Amino acid sequence: MGNRICNCQHQAYNDDKETEVEPRVILFKFDIIQKLREVKSLEELKLTASDFIAFHKGRFLDYYEIGQILGEGAYGQVYECTNKQTKAKRAVKAMLKTGFYNEEERERFQTEVSLLKHMDHPNILKLYEVFQDDARYYVVTEICQGGELFDEIIKRKFFSEKDAADIMTQSLKAIIYCHSNDICHRDLKPENILIESKGSVKVIDFGTAMTFNPQVGMNTMIGTPYYMAPEILKSQRYDEKCDVWSLGVILYCLLTAWLVLADRSVSQEAQDLISKMLILDPNERISAKDAIQHDWFHKESNTKSVDLNHTRESLRNLATFSLVTNEEIQSTREIFQELDTNNDGKLSRDELIVGYKKIYGEFAEEQVDKILRLADIDGSGEIDYSEWLIATINRKNLVSEDKIKHAFSFFDKDGSGSISVEELKEVLGVKNRLVDDIVWNQLIQEVDTDGNGEIDYDEFKYMMNKLIDGEIQRRFTKARSPSPDIRAPSV
Protein backbone atom coordinates (compact mmCIF):
# COMPACT_ATOMS: atom_id res chain seq x y z
CA MET A 1 0.00 0.00 0.00
CA GLY A 2 3.02 2.27 0.30
CA ASN A 3 2.20 5.73 1.58
CA ARG A 4 -1.49 5.53 0.79
CA ILE A 5 -3.73 5.91 3.84
CA CYS A 6 -5.56 2.68 3.11
CA ASN A 7 -6.13 1.63 -0.44
CA CYS A 8 -9.24 -0.42 0.25
CA GLN A 9 -10.83 2.46 2.12
CA HIS A 10 -10.34 4.80 -0.82
CA GLN A 11 -12.05 2.67 -3.45
CA ALA A 12 -15.52 3.79 -4.48
CA TYR A 13 -18.28 1.67 -2.99
CA ASN A 14 -21.59 0.87 -4.64
CA ASP A 15 -24.36 -1.11 -2.97
CA ASP A 16 -26.12 -3.08 -5.70
CA LYS A 17 -28.88 -4.10 -3.26
CA GLU A 18 -30.75 -0.84 -3.36
CA THR A 19 -34.48 -1.04 -2.69
CA GLU A 20 -35.38 1.58 -5.26
CA VAL A 21 -33.51 1.80 -8.55
CA GLU A 22 -32.44 5.29 -9.52
CA PRO A 23 -33.18 6.34 -13.11
CA ARG A 24 -30.30 5.70 -15.49
CA VAL A 25 -31.59 8.13 -18.10
CA ILE A 26 -29.61 11.34 -17.85
CA LEU A 27 -31.96 14.32 -17.88
CA PHE A 28 -30.24 17.67 -18.40
CA LYS A 29 -31.86 21.06 -18.10
CA PHE A 30 -29.76 22.01 -21.08
CA ASP A 31 -29.85 18.74 -23.04
CA ILE A 32 -29.67 19.29 -26.79
CA ILE A 33 -32.68 17.04 -27.44
CA GLN A 34 -34.85 19.22 -25.26
CA LYS A 35 -33.48 22.40 -26.82
CA LEU A 36 -34.17 21.32 -30.38
CA ARG A 37 -37.51 19.56 -29.96
CA GLU A 38 -39.66 22.58 -30.83
CA VAL A 39 -37.32 24.39 -33.22
CA LYS A 40 -39.32 25.83 -36.09
CA SER A 41 -37.01 28.56 -37.38
CA LEU A 42 -33.30 29.27 -37.72
CA GLU A 43 -33.48 32.03 -35.10
CA GLU A 44 -34.63 29.44 -32.53
CA LEU A 45 -31.65 27.15 -33.14
CA LYS A 46 -29.41 27.77 -30.10
CA LEU A 47 -26.34 25.58 -29.70
CA THR A 48 -23.71 25.39 -26.97
CA ALA A 49 -20.12 24.12 -26.94
CA SER A 50 -21.27 20.74 -25.61
CA ASP A 51 -23.23 20.14 -28.81
CA PHE A 52 -19.97 19.92 -30.76
CA ILE A 53 -18.25 17.27 -28.64
CA ALA A 54 -17.70 14.50 -31.16
CA PHE A 55 -18.37 10.78 -30.80
CA HIS A 56 -16.37 8.82 -33.39
CA LYS A 57 -16.44 5.25 -34.56
CA GLY A 58 -13.04 4.46 -36.00
CA ARG A 59 -9.33 4.32 -35.34
CA PHE A 60 -8.18 6.71 -32.64
CA LEU A 61 -4.63 6.59 -34.03
CA ASP A 62 -5.85 8.09 -37.30
CA TYR A 63 -6.42 11.34 -35.41
CA TYR A 64 -3.92 11.30 -32.53
CA GLU A 65 -0.36 10.31 -31.73
CA ILE A 66 0.11 8.49 -28.41
CA GLY A 67 2.73 9.80 -25.97
CA GLN A 68 3.86 8.83 -22.49
CA ILE A 69 1.60 7.09 -20.01
CA LEU A 70 0.22 9.48 -17.39
CA GLY A 71 -1.56 7.02 -15.12
CA GLU A 72 -3.43 3.77 -14.77
CA GLY A 73 -6.87 3.06 -13.37
CA ALA A 74 -9.24 0.17 -12.85
CA TYR A 75 -10.46 0.17 -16.45
CA GLY A 76 -7.45 1.27 -18.48
CA GLN A 77 -4.52 3.60 -18.98
CA VAL A 78 -4.29 7.37 -19.39
CA TYR A 79 -1.82 8.66 -21.99
CA GLU A 80 -0.64 11.98 -23.25
CA CYS A 81 -1.67 12.40 -26.88
CA THR A 82 -1.27 14.97 -29.65
CA ASN A 83 -3.86 15.86 -32.27
CA LYS A 84 -2.25 15.23 -35.66
CA GLN A 85 -3.90 18.25 -37.29
CA THR A 86 -3.89 20.92 -34.58
CA LYS A 87 -0.86 19.62 -32.59
CA ALA A 88 -2.88 20.26 -29.43
CA LYS A 89 -1.79 18.27 -26.37
CA ARG A 90 -4.55 16.23 -24.75
CA ALA A 91 -5.00 13.29 -22.39
CA VAL A 92 -6.75 10.10 -23.48
CA LYS A 93 -8.14 7.33 -21.32
CA ALA A 94 -8.08 4.03 -23.26
CA MET A 95 -10.42 1.36 -21.89
CA LEU A 96 -11.03 -2.20 -23.02
CA LYS A 97 -14.72 -2.86 -23.65
CA THR A 98 -14.27 -6.23 -21.97
CA GLY A 99 -12.70 -4.57 -18.91
CA PHE A 100 -15.96 -3.59 -17.23
CA TYR A 101 -16.96 -5.90 -14.39
CA ASN A 102 -20.63 -5.89 -15.34
CA GLU A 103 -23.24 -3.97 -17.28
CA GLU A 104 -23.71 -1.52 -14.41
CA GLU A 105 -20.04 -0.52 -14.67
CA ARG A 106 -20.50 0.09 -18.38
CA GLU A 107 -23.57 2.23 -17.69
CA ARG A 108 -21.57 4.22 -15.13
CA PHE A 109 -18.94 4.95 -17.76
CA GLN A 110 -21.63 6.11 -20.18
CA THR A 111 -23.13 8.30 -17.46
CA GLU A 112 -19.75 9.94 -16.84
CA VAL A 113 -19.27 10.72 -20.53
CA SER A 114 -22.79 12.11 -20.80
CA LEU A 115 -22.29 14.34 -17.78
CA LEU A 116 -18.84 15.59 -18.82
CA LYS A 117 -20.22 16.40 -22.27
CA HIS A 118 -22.45 19.02 -20.70
CA MET A 119 -20.00 20.35 -18.12
CA ASP A 120 -18.57 23.79 -18.86
CA HIS A 121 -16.60 25.11 -15.89
CA PRO A 122 -12.94 26.10 -15.39
CA ASN A 123 -12.60 23.77 -12.37
CA ILE A 124 -14.07 20.65 -14.02
CA LEU A 125 -12.07 18.47 -16.40
CA LYS A 126 -13.04 19.33 -20.00
CA LEU A 127 -14.13 16.55 -22.37
CA TYR A 128 -13.21 17.03 -26.04
CA GLU A 129 -14.22 13.89 -27.90
CA VAL A 130 -14.80 10.14 -27.61
CA PHE A 131 -13.69 7.35 -29.96
CA GLN A 132 -14.59 3.71 -30.04
CA ASP A 133 -13.42 0.76 -32.11
CA ASP A 134 -14.20 -2.94 -31.79
CA ALA A 135 -12.01 -3.35 -28.70
CA ARG A 136 -11.74 -0.03 -26.83
CA TYR A 137 -13.21 3.30 -25.85
CA TYR A 138 -10.94 6.37 -26.04
CA VAL A 139 -12.00 9.39 -23.96
CA VAL A 140 -10.08 12.56 -24.90
CA THR A 141 -9.91 15.33 -22.28
CA GLU A 142 -7.80 18.36 -21.48
CA ILE A 143 -4.40 17.48 -20.08
CA CYS A 144 -3.52 18.56 -16.54
CA GLN A 145 0.13 19.17 -15.76
CA GLY A 146 0.17 18.21 -12.11
CA GLY A 147 -1.16 15.38 -9.99
CA GLU A 148 -3.80 14.18 -7.55
CA LEU A 149 -4.48 16.14 -4.40
CA PHE A 150 -4.00 12.85 -2.54
CA ASP A 151 -0.37 12.64 -3.64
CA GLU A 152 0.15 16.28 -2.67
CA ILE A 153 -1.22 15.56 0.82
CA ILE A 154 1.21 12.66 1.22
CA LYS A 155 4.12 14.78 0.01
CA ARG A 156 3.41 17.92 2.02
CA LYS A 157 1.99 16.30 5.19
CA PHE A 158 -0.18 19.36 5.83
CA PHE A 159 -1.19 22.58 4.06
CA SER A 160 -1.14 26.16 5.22
CA GLU A 161 -4.60 27.58 5.70
CA LYS A 162 -4.03 29.92 2.75
CA ASP A 163 -3.23 27.02 0.41
CA ALA A 164 -6.08 24.93 1.79
CA ALA A 165 -8.50 27.83 1.26
CA ASP A 166 -7.39 28.23 -2.35
CA ILE A 167 -7.94 24.53 -3.10
CA MET A 168 -11.28 24.45 -1.28
CA THR A 169 -12.50 27.64 -2.99
CA GLN A 170 -11.96 26.15 -6.44
CA SER A 171 -13.43 22.78 -5.43
CA LEU A 172 -16.53 24.45 -4.02
CA LYS A 173 -16.97 26.51 -7.20
CA ALA A 174 -17.01 23.32 -9.25
CA ILE A 175 -19.55 21.70 -6.93
CA ILE A 176 -21.76 24.81 -6.77
CA TYR A 177 -21.89 24.67 -10.57
CA CYS A 178 -22.87 20.99 -10.43
CA HIS A 179 -25.55 21.52 -7.78
CA SER A 180 -27.01 24.49 -9.65
CA ASN A 181 -27.60 22.07 -12.55
CA ASP A 182 -29.01 19.35 -10.25
CA ILE A 183 -25.90 17.18 -10.52
CA CYS A 184 -24.40 15.44 -7.49
CA HIS A 185 -20.83 14.09 -7.69
CA ARG A 186 -21.16 11.52 -4.86
CA ASP A 187 -17.50 10.47 -4.74
CA LEU A 188 -15.45 13.53 -3.85
CA LYS A 189 -12.05 12.57 -2.43
CA PRO A 190 -8.44 13.76 -2.84
CA GLU A 191 -7.86 11.24 -5.65
CA ASN A 192 -10.63 12.92 -7.66
CA ILE A 193 -9.21 16.43 -7.38
CA LEU A 194 -6.29 17.31 -9.64
CA ILE A 195 -3.86 20.12 -8.83
CA GLU A 196 -2.24 21.67 -11.89
CA SER A 197 1.30 23.02 -11.80
CA LYS A 198 0.05 26.61 -11.48
CA GLY A 199 -2.34 25.77 -8.66
CA SER A 200 -5.56 25.40 -10.63
CA VAL A 201 -7.95 22.72 -9.38
CA LYS A 202 -9.84 20.26 -11.60
CA VAL A 203 -12.57 17.98 -10.26
CA ILE A 204 -12.62 14.65 -12.10
CA ASP A 205 -14.30 11.21 -12.12
CA PHE A 206 -18.03 11.68 -12.56
CA GLY A 207 -18.62 7.94 -12.86
CA THR A 208 -20.77 7.85 -9.72
CA ALA A 209 -22.41 11.23 -10.35
CA MET A 210 -26.02 11.61 -11.37
CA THR A 211 -28.67 14.20 -12.07
CA PHE A 212 -31.34 14.29 -9.40
CA ASN A 213 -34.69 15.77 -8.54
CA PRO A 214 -34.21 18.10 -5.51
CA GLN A 215 -37.72 17.21 -4.34
CA VAL A 216 -36.97 13.47 -4.37
CA GLY A 217 -33.25 13.07 -3.67
CA MET A 218 -31.18 9.90 -4.08
CA ASN A 219 -30.92 6.58 -2.24
CA THR A 220 -28.06 4.48 -3.71
CA MET A 221 -25.26 3.68 -1.26
CA ILE A 222 -22.32 4.85 -3.33
CA GLY A 223 -18.99 6.58 -2.79
CA THR A 224 -15.78 6.01 -0.83
CA PRO A 225 -16.27 5.05 2.85
CA TYR A 226 -13.77 7.53 4.36
CA TYR A 227 -15.54 10.45 2.68
CA MET A 228 -19.12 9.14 2.53
CA ALA A 229 -21.80 11.20 4.28
CA PRO A 230 -23.49 9.50 7.28
CA GLU A 231 -26.94 9.62 5.67
CA ILE A 232 -25.58 7.48 2.82
CA LEU A 233 -23.99 5.01 5.23
CA LYS A 234 -27.32 4.74 7.05
CA SER A 235 -29.07 3.93 3.73
CA GLN A 236 -31.26 7.01 4.11
CA ARG A 237 -32.49 9.16 1.25
CA TYR A 238 -30.01 11.99 0.68
CA ASP A 239 -29.45 15.12 -1.40
CA GLU A 240 -26.55 17.12 -2.84
CA LYS A 241 -25.25 18.04 0.63
CA CYS A 242 -23.49 14.67 0.71
CA ASP A 243 -20.88 16.41 -1.48
CA VAL A 244 -20.44 19.11 1.18
CA TRP A 245 -19.71 16.45 3.80
CA SER A 246 -17.04 14.92 1.53
CA LEU A 247 -15.42 18.30 0.98
CA GLY A 248 -15.49 18.89 4.74
CA VAL A 249 -13.54 15.67 5.27
CA ILE A 250 -11.07 16.74 2.56
CA LEU A 251 -10.62 20.14 4.21
CA TYR A 252 -9.95 18.39 7.53
CA CYS A 253 -7.33 16.24 5.76
CA LEU A 254 -5.65 19.31 4.28
CA LEU A 255 -5.32 21.02 7.64
CA THR A 256 -4.43 17.98 9.77
CA ALA A 257 -2.75 15.68 7.20
CA TRP A 258 -4.46 12.49 8.38
CA LEU A 259 -7.92 11.26 9.19
CA VAL A 260 -7.10 11.35 12.90
CA LEU A 261 -6.83 14.33 15.21
CA ALA A 262 -3.46 15.96 14.72
CA ASP A 263 -1.63 18.03 17.27
CA ARG A 264 -1.43 21.30 15.37
CA SER A 265 -3.23 24.56 15.68
CA VAL A 266 -6.12 25.29 13.34
CA SER A 267 -7.81 28.69 13.36
CA GLN A 268 -11.22 29.14 14.94
CA GLU A 269 -12.64 30.20 11.56
CA ALA A 270 -11.42 26.98 9.91
CA GLN A 271 -12.79 24.87 12.76
CA ASP A 272 -16.14 26.63 12.48
CA LEU A 273 -16.38 25.98 8.73
CA ILE A 274 -15.40 22.31 9.08
CA SER A 275 -17.94 21.81 11.86
CA LYS A 276 -20.70 23.28 9.67
CA MET A 277 -19.71 21.08 6.72
CA LEU A 278 -19.67 17.98 8.95
CA ILE A 279 -23.02 18.39 10.68
CA LEU A 280 -24.64 14.96 10.89
CA ASP A 281 -28.11 16.19 9.98
CA PRO A 282 -28.02 17.13 6.26
CA ASN A 283 -30.94 19.51 6.80
CA GLU A 284 -28.75 21.54 9.17
CA ARG A 285 -25.53 21.14 7.16
CA ILE A 286 -24.26 24.20 5.32
CA SER A 287 -24.75 24.25 1.54
CA ALA A 288 -21.85 24.59 -0.91
CA LYS A 289 -23.12 28.02 -1.95
CA ASP A 290 -23.16 29.24 1.66
CA ALA A 291 -19.89 27.52 2.56
CA ILE A 292 -17.90 29.52 0.02
CA GLN A 293 -19.15 32.74 1.65
CA HIS A 294 -17.74 31.72 5.07
CA ASP A 295 -15.50 34.24 6.86
CA TRP A 296 -12.56 31.82 6.72
CA PHE A 297 -12.26 32.26 2.94
CA HIS A 298 -12.25 36.04 3.23
CA LYS A 299 -9.48 35.79 5.82
CA GLU A 300 -7.31 33.04 4.35
CA SER A 301 -8.02 32.77 0.62
CA ASN A 302 -4.83 32.61 -1.42
CA THR A 303 -6.63 33.62 -4.61
CA LYS A 304 -4.81 36.65 -5.98
CA SER A 305 -6.77 39.73 -6.91
CA VAL A 306 -6.65 39.91 -10.69
CA ASP A 307 -4.48 42.75 -11.91
CA LEU A 308 -6.80 45.67 -12.69
CA ASN A 309 -4.76 46.82 -15.68
CA HIS A 310 -4.90 43.37 -17.24
CA THR A 311 -8.61 43.10 -16.42
CA ARG A 312 -9.20 46.50 -18.00
CA GLU A 313 -7.45 45.49 -21.22
CA SER A 314 -9.18 42.10 -21.29
CA LEU A 315 -12.67 43.50 -20.86
CA ARG A 316 -12.08 46.29 -23.35
CA ASN A 317 -10.87 43.87 -26.01
CA LEU A 318 -13.73 41.47 -25.32
CA ALA A 319 -16.03 44.11 -26.78
CA THR A 320 -14.27 43.68 -30.13
CA PHE A 321 -14.27 39.86 -29.86
CA SER A 322 -10.49 39.48 -29.70
CA LEU A 323 -8.42 39.36 -26.58
CA VAL A 324 -5.46 37.30 -25.46
CA THR A 325 -3.06 34.68 -26.74
CA ASN A 326 -3.14 31.06 -25.61
CA GLU A 327 -0.34 31.75 -23.11
CA GLU A 328 -2.70 34.03 -21.18
CA ILE A 329 -5.55 31.53 -20.76
CA GLN A 330 -4.73 31.26 -17.04
CA SER A 331 -5.26 35.01 -16.57
CA THR A 332 -8.42 34.85 -18.65
CA ARG A 333 -9.78 32.10 -16.42
CA GLU A 334 -8.99 34.15 -13.32
CA ILE A 335 -10.85 37.13 -14.75
CA PHE A 336 -13.87 34.92 -15.52
CA GLN A 337 -13.96 33.61 -11.97
CA GLU A 338 -13.50 37.05 -10.43
CA LEU A 339 -16.45 38.40 -12.42
CA ASP A 340 -18.56 35.32 -11.53
CA THR A 341 -19.49 36.65 -8.11
CA ASN A 342 -22.31 34.16 -7.44
CA ASN A 343 -20.06 31.21 -8.41
CA ASP A 344 -22.58 29.57 -10.76
CA GLY A 345 -20.05 29.20 -13.60
CA LYS A 346 -21.73 31.81 -15.83
CA LEU A 347 -21.51 35.58 -16.28
CA SER A 348 -24.84 37.35 -16.01
CA ARG A 349 -25.59 40.82 -17.33
CA ASP A 350 -25.46 42.23 -13.79
CA GLU A 351 -22.08 40.61 -13.07
CA LEU A 352 -20.63 41.98 -16.29
CA ILE A 353 -21.94 45.46 -15.52
CA VAL A 354 -20.18 45.44 -12.15
CA GLY A 355 -16.89 44.54 -13.88
CA TYR A 356 -17.33 47.07 -16.67
CA LYS A 357 -18.08 49.95 -14.34
CA LYS A 358 -14.40 49.84 -13.39
CA ILE A 359 -13.60 50.80 -16.98
CA TYR A 360 -16.52 52.58 -18.62
CA GLY A 361 -18.45 53.98 -15.68
CA GLU A 362 -21.86 55.17 -16.88
CA PHE A 363 -21.31 53.51 -20.28
CA ALA A 364 -21.01 50.04 -18.69
CA GLU A 365 -24.54 48.88 -19.50
CA GLU A 366 -24.17 49.78 -23.16
CA GLN A 367 -20.90 47.87 -23.38
CA VAL A 368 -22.35 44.79 -21.66
CA ASP A 369 -25.39 44.71 -23.97
CA LYS A 370 -23.06 44.80 -26.97
CA ILE A 371 -20.90 42.00 -25.56
CA LEU A 372 -23.90 39.81 -24.84
CA ARG A 373 -25.04 40.18 -28.45
CA LEU A 374 -21.57 39.18 -29.69
CA ALA A 375 -20.45 36.53 -27.20
CA ASP A 376 -23.71 34.95 -26.03
CA ILE A 377 -23.78 32.41 -28.84
CA ASP A 378 -26.60 30.24 -27.46
CA GLY A 379 -28.82 33.23 -26.60
CA SER A 380 -29.15 32.27 -22.92
CA GLY A 381 -28.70 35.83 -21.69
CA GLU A 382 -25.45 34.82 -19.95
CA ILE A 383 -21.88 34.07 -21.01
CA ASP A 384 -20.73 30.58 -20.09
CA TYR A 385 -17.11 29.53 -19.80
CA SER A 386 -16.70 28.23 -23.36
CA GLU A 387 -18.27 31.38 -24.79
CA TRP A 388 -15.88 33.42 -22.66
CA LEU A 389 -12.85 31.52 -23.96
CA ILE A 390 -14.02 31.79 -27.58
CA ALA A 391 -14.51 35.51 -27.18
CA THR A 392 -11.07 35.97 -25.66
CA ILE A 393 -8.99 33.98 -28.13
CA ASN A 394 -6.97 36.11 -30.47
CA ARG A 395 -8.91 36.36 -33.74
CA LYS A 396 -5.92 35.56 -35.95
CA ASN A 397 -5.28 32.36 -34.01
CA LEU A 398 -8.92 31.38 -34.16
CA VAL A 399 -9.31 31.75 -37.94
CA SER A 400 -5.91 30.42 -38.98
CA GLU A 401 -5.94 28.21 -42.08
CA ASP A 402 -5.03 25.06 -40.11
CA LYS A 403 -7.80 25.56 -37.57
CA ILE A 404 -10.41 26.24 -40.25
CA LYS A 405 -9.36 23.09 -42.13
CA HIS A 406 -9.63 21.08 -38.93
CA ALA A 407 -13.06 22.52 -38.17
CA PHE A 408 -14.23 21.79 -41.72
CA SER A 409 -13.10 18.15 -41.52
CA PHE A 410 -14.99 17.85 -38.23
CA PHE A 411 -18.25 18.43 -40.13
CA ASP A 412 -17.26 16.80 -43.43
CA LYS A 413 -17.72 13.27 -42.13
CA ASP A 414 -17.53 11.49 -45.49
CA GLY A 415 -14.52 13.46 -46.73
CA SER A 416 -16.38 14.60 -49.85
CA GLY A 417 -15.17 18.19 -49.62
CA SER A 418 -18.57 19.60 -48.72
CA ILE A 419 -20.93 19.62 -45.73
CA SER A 420 -24.47 18.34 -46.20
CA VAL A 421 -27.58 18.71 -44.05
CA GLU A 422 -27.25 15.08 -42.98
CA GLU A 423 -23.67 15.67 -41.81
CA LEU A 424 -24.81 18.66 -39.73
CA LYS A 425 -27.41 16.46 -38.07
CA GLU A 426 -24.86 13.72 -37.44
CA VAL A 427 -22.34 16.07 -35.84
CA LEU A 428 -24.98 17.61 -33.59
CA GLY A 429 -26.30 14.18 -32.63
CA VAL A 430 -29.96 14.89 -33.36
CA LYS A 431 -32.59 12.85 -35.14
CA ASN A 432 -34.28 13.97 -38.31
CA ARG A 433 -37.65 14.89 -36.80
CA LEU A 434 -36.43 16.99 -33.88
CA VAL A 435 -35.96 20.04 -36.11
CA ASP A 436 -37.96 21.00 -39.14
CA ASP A 437 -36.03 20.34 -42.35
CA ILE A 438 -36.58 23.95 -43.33
CA VAL A 439 -34.35 25.02 -40.42
CA TRP A 440 -31.44 22.88 -41.61
CA ASN A 441 -31.90 24.13 -45.17
CA GLN A 442 -31.92 27.73 -43.95
CA LEU A 443 -28.70 27.08 -42.06
CA ILE A 444 -27.04 25.81 -45.23
CA GLN A 445 -28.46 28.62 -47.37
CA GLU A 446 -26.91 31.28 -45.13
CA VAL A 447 -23.49 30.58 -46.66
CA ASP A 448 -24.27 28.38 -49.69
CA THR A 449 -23.31 30.96 -52.31
CA ASP A 450 -23.41 28.57 -55.28
CA GLY A 451 -26.84 27.19 -54.31
CA ASN A 452 -25.97 23.49 -54.54
CA GLY A 453 -27.44 22.68 -51.10
CA GLU A 454 -24.08 22.00 -49.43
CA ILE A 455 -21.22 24.01 -47.90
CA ASP A 456 -17.83 23.66 -49.56
CA TYR A 457 -14.53 24.70 -47.96
CA ASP A 458 -14.43 28.24 -49.35
CA GLU A 459 -17.99 28.87 -48.18
CA PHE A 460 -17.15 27.42 -44.77
CA LYS A 461 -14.07 29.64 -44.48
CA TYR A 462 -16.11 32.71 -45.43
CA MET A 463 -18.72 31.75 -42.80
CA MET A 464 -16.08 31.34 -40.06
CA ASN A 465 -14.59 34.76 -40.74
CA LYS A 466 -18.02 36.36 -40.67
CA LEU A 467 -18.89 34.47 -37.51
CA ILE A 468 -15.83 35.73 -35.68
CA ASP A 469 -16.47 39.26 -36.90
CA GLY A 470 -19.86 39.04 -35.23
CA GLU A 471 -21.90 39.69 -38.37
CA ILE A 472 -23.82 36.42 -38.21
CA GLN A 473 -24.57 36.84 -34.50
CA ARG A 474 -25.90 40.35 -35.05
CA ARG A 475 -28.29 39.11 -37.73
CA PHE A 476 -29.68 36.37 -35.51
CA THR A 477 -29.80 38.41 -32.31
CA LYS A 478 -32.09 40.96 -33.92
CA ALA A 479 -34.81 38.36 -33.46
CA ARG A 480 -33.99 38.21 -29.73
CA SER A 481 -33.70 41.94 -29.11
CA PRO A 482 -35.44 44.77 -31.00
CA SER A 483 -32.97 47.35 -29.74
CA PRO A 484 -30.54 48.82 -32.28
CA ASP A 485 -26.85 47.95 -32.25
CA ILE A 486 -25.12 49.98 -29.56
CA ARG A 487 -21.76 51.18 -30.71
CA ALA A 488 -18.90 51.18 -28.24
CA PRO A 489 -17.49 54.56 -27.29
CA SER A 490 -13.99 55.10 -28.59
CA VAL A 491 -11.27 54.31 -26.08
The answer to whether 93 is annotated as binding is: yes
Q: Are 439 and 45 in contact (CB under 8 A)?
A: yes
Active site residues: 187
Q: Where do the H-state alpha helices sit in 241-363?
A: 241-256, 268-277, 288-291, 295-300, 308-318, 329-339, 349-360
Residue 69 contacts residue 401 (beta carbons within 8 Å): no
**What value, to the nearest 5°, has the Cα angle with vertex 428 and ends 78 and 405?**
75
Contact 317, 488 (CB under 8 A): no
**Structural Rg of the chain based on CA atoms:** 23
Distance (Å, whole) CA 390 – CA 276:
39
Spatial separation of the C-alpha atoms in residues 67 and 81, rounded to whole Å: 5
Q: How far apart are CA 274 and CA 270, in angstroms?
A: 6
Give the CA distances from residue 272 to residues 76, 251, 254, 277, 291, in Å, rounded to whole numbers and listed in that order.
41, 12, 15, 9, 11
User: Are the CB atoms for 94 and 73 separated by under 8 Å?
Assistant: no
Task: Report the binding-site residues for ATP.
Answer: 93
